[in-house]
Structure 1
Amino acid sequence: MSLSGRIPALPTRDQALRGRPEPEFTVPGRHTVLGHPLLGPYPEGLAVADFALGCFWGAERAFWRTPGVWTTLVGYQGGYTENPVYEEVCSGLTGHAETVRVVHDPSVVSYEQLLKVFWENHDPTQGFRQGHDVGTQYRSALHTHTPEQAATAEASRAAYQKALTASGHGTIRTELLPAQDRPFYPAEAHHQQYLDKNPGGYCGIGGTGVSCPVGVGRAES
């Protein structure tokens, strides 16, 4: 939740915590559900996509359940602090959002189809919150890895905005940024596949109930 009832605001680069040159923890070797390595390099032919849609515990599960997804891992992205820890991200002083990195086989599930999972599992109009989770770390964001991903994300966002508007919802506030400009830092071991280890644990994500159209964007090459 936000600190002392303050309205959340993103820090500037100068205001952000400095972080550290190396991570303070190690990442588990393999996915507890899919069995594949969490960290790259990944097998040839797979693609990487990054999604921020609120609390990453429930968000990660939505993606690992998607056929064609090879592995997932949760982390922090979009901010300035190097190798942050969870408590720093929760302070709002890193600028990072809780993010799911999805490694997928494009011949089985396209980036556009993953965007459908993304849009339908949160409310992208809420800004610095998702439901009861309040803070800049819960904002909606897409960090794209290729020009094709960026074009597909733009087209998908426009199409979903039309669907949301027709259903009486507000304006999408999802950030679209190049992944190379904002590094992804894996989260601590206990956050990885949290809802597999804690099946009754807190999920925190939920959609608007509005279906996202598919077939409106450029296919990722």
Structure 2
Amino acid sequence: MAEGLYSGAMTLFRRDKSRIVEPDQALPGRPDPLRVSPSHAVYPDRQIVPPFPDGTRTAVFAMGCFWGPERVFWKVPGVYSTAVGYVGGYTPNPTYEEVCSGLTGHTEAVLVVFDPAVVGYADLLKIFWEGHDPTQGLRQGNDTGSQYRSAVYYADDEQQAAIESTLAAYQREIARAGYGKITTEVAPAGTFYYAEDYHQQYLSDAKNPHGYCGMGGTGVSCPIGLGVRED
């Protein structure tokens, strides 16, 4: 048994993070979700888990380490709530350590609950595109691995159309600035697995008032409003 545990640990350590794990090689996970506090650390009267208020919608963005992006989104007027978690992989209810091993296929992501009467989905996409470098493949800055890949997951056809139109527009702009092809994963929204409680609103004053999570965009503006349809 000890030899088997050691072998498994070494497999995690040696995992090639230059590619996404195949489904049949992913970790098995567990049937029960990780437990999180239902209240938002910045807005204690708001929930980070369903049910959400009538009229709100959800969006899921992956921009590298999820701490910084979550803080950006919870400050946006019209955003009701945010949470961090794992999406786009194969392992049910993964832990942070498992996701970081590269053996679950997930990427770190932010769930954004927003009021479309106040902030449009295209406005959130503008923040997404400009808030990181979407051309870096399985990394973001110095953070390397499939868990840091750029991704955006759509809830319906309307969101998919908005993603595709803004991606095309942003690709033109960053190409002019000398950047390569956007590598962002675009896919239907699957299960959002909530990350451990200590990750939720990690950079809030209540948890880590002096915390740091570097975010680096391209410095290129996404041309929302210049031929790009908004919600």
TM-score scaled by length of structure 1: 0.94
Alignment partner, residue 185 of structure 1: 193
1:161 and 2:171 are equivalent in the alignment? yes
Q: Distance in 2 between matches of 1:183 and 1:5?
A: 24
Alignment partner, residue 101 of structure 2: 91
TM-superposed CA distance for 1:199, in Å, is 2.5
For residues 22-48 of structure 1, what are the alpha-carbon distances to aligned partners after superposition, in whole Å with 9 as ceiling and x for unaligned? 12x311121111231010111110000
- 8 Å CA contact 2:224–2:230 kept in 1: the answer is no
User: Where has structure 1 moved over 6 Å in runs of 4 or more?
Assistant: none
Alignment length, in residue pairs?
Answer: 216
For residues 86-141 of structure 1, what are the alpha-carbon distances to aligned partners after superposition, in whole Å with 9 as ceiling and x for unaligned? 00000000000000000000011100000011011100000111111011000000
1:32 to 17, 41, 52: 41
- 8 Å CA contact 2:121–2:230 kept in 1: the answer is yes
- 8 Å CA contact 1:53–1:118 kept in 2: the answer is yes
Give 1:35-184 correspondences, 5 Å limit.
35=44, 36-179=46-189, 182-184=190-192
- 8 Å CA contact 2:17–2:146 kept in 1: the answer is no
Note the residue ranges of structure 2 that are not aligned, 5 or more in a row.
1-11
Alignment partner, residue 202 of structure 1: 212
Q: Distance in 2 between matches of 1:199 and 1:119?
A: 26
- 8 Å CA contact 1:121–1:206 kept in 2: the answer is yes
- 8 Å CA contact 1:16–1:81 kept in 2: the answer is yes
Tell me the percent identity.
Answer: 56
What is the letter of the counterpart of residue 26 of structure 1?
R
TM-superposed CA distance for 1:166, in Å, is 1.0
What is the letter of the counterpart of residue 127 of structure 1?
G
Note the residue ranges of structure 1 that are not aligned, 5 or more in a row.
none
Aligned residues: CA RMSD:
1.5
Q: Distance in 2 between matches of 1:49 and 1:193?
A: 17
Alignment partner, residue 9 of structure 2: none
Q: Distance in 1 between matches of 2:38 and 2:74?
A: 16
- 8 Å CA contact 1:59–1:100 kept in 2: the answer is yes
Distance 1:7 1:37, change over 3 A: closer
Q: Distance in 2 between matches of 1:5 and 1:178?
A: 27
